[in-house]
Chains A and B, each alone.
Chain A
């Protein structure tokens, strides 16, 4: 089934299941990321899978959303990755979300929210009470999404400098 057709087949939240990533999902993750960013990074995603899909799973969460409709050929509709980090920047342990992507044709169908809620539950189960992320100021889509999920500005300001 073509990607677009698969995406249209899963029209509601109830047809989406969120689970941990598996090796077979990585080509789908790479494909989705390439469609969204227009930049293929297979090596990067294979490395992320090794680090976040196989190791220290009690504090690292690489979750995918798949359609329940096409059980014979599960299709990744989106993914979210995060981990619990502690004491960096003087912070007590908290969950960091550093990647989130949803199939463009499936946006506004609750998949991002399902992924966000799933990783929130994982963070909570792991014992942290705060989650954070970082979003580019000129990325309105991501900003709007995280805001809609109730995220507010945190106590940190990100600083940077050009290295001559």
Chain B
């Protein structure tokens, strides 16, 4: 399964902001770690801000803070801000759908259901545990190590 780069960045940003209690980071801080432009990340943060997942702190030393509950916010909550992941009826649901369309729809809906259930079952707090278990929380990446490239197959 592939996620949009914006979704992946949003998840990475939330993980950074929840690494420590009260953590506050600028888009530049996060963008540097993941090798992405502040401009792109700012758009992602703006979407999450509107959804109430992050709040911006103005002034010198300002940045973003996570505004949700890490034990209640799931990957699905974040992903749905950027993707259409809900188990929507595929085209096979149309009135003129062939039996082949309908059969394929059934299979695709099964895949969507599983994807949504998986993303909806993993909270940010659980993700932090997974990250910490892998010992990568302090790892820094090079500018060329864009999440959308190397990690595309991981999600």
Contact = CB atoms under 8 A, between A and B. Distances in A.
A137 interface: yes
Interface string B103-136: 0000000000110011011110110010001000
Interface stretch (A10-18, A23-31, A142-150): A142-150
B123 A147 contact: yes
B126 A137 contact: no
A148 B117 contact: no
Interface residues of B, number: 14
B118 to A, nearest CB: 7
Contacts of A146: 121
B122 A147 contact: yes
A148 B120 contact: no
A154 interface: no
A31 B129 CA distance: 34
Contacts of A150: 129, 133
Looking at chain B's contact residues, is the secondary structure mostly helix, strand, loop, or mixed?
A: helix
Contacts of B129: 148, 150
A5 interface: no
Instruction: Classify chain A: how many residues form its interface, as a range.
Output: 10 to 19
Nearest to B122: A147
Contacts of B123: 144, 147-148
Interface in A105-164: 108, 137-138, 140, 143-144, 146-148, 150, 153
A139 B49 CA distance: 29
A137 B119 CA distance: 11
Nearest to A148: B126
Contact of A148 (B113, B118, B125, B133): B125
Contacts of B118: 153
Interface of A: 108, 137-138, 140, 143-144, 146-148, 150, 153
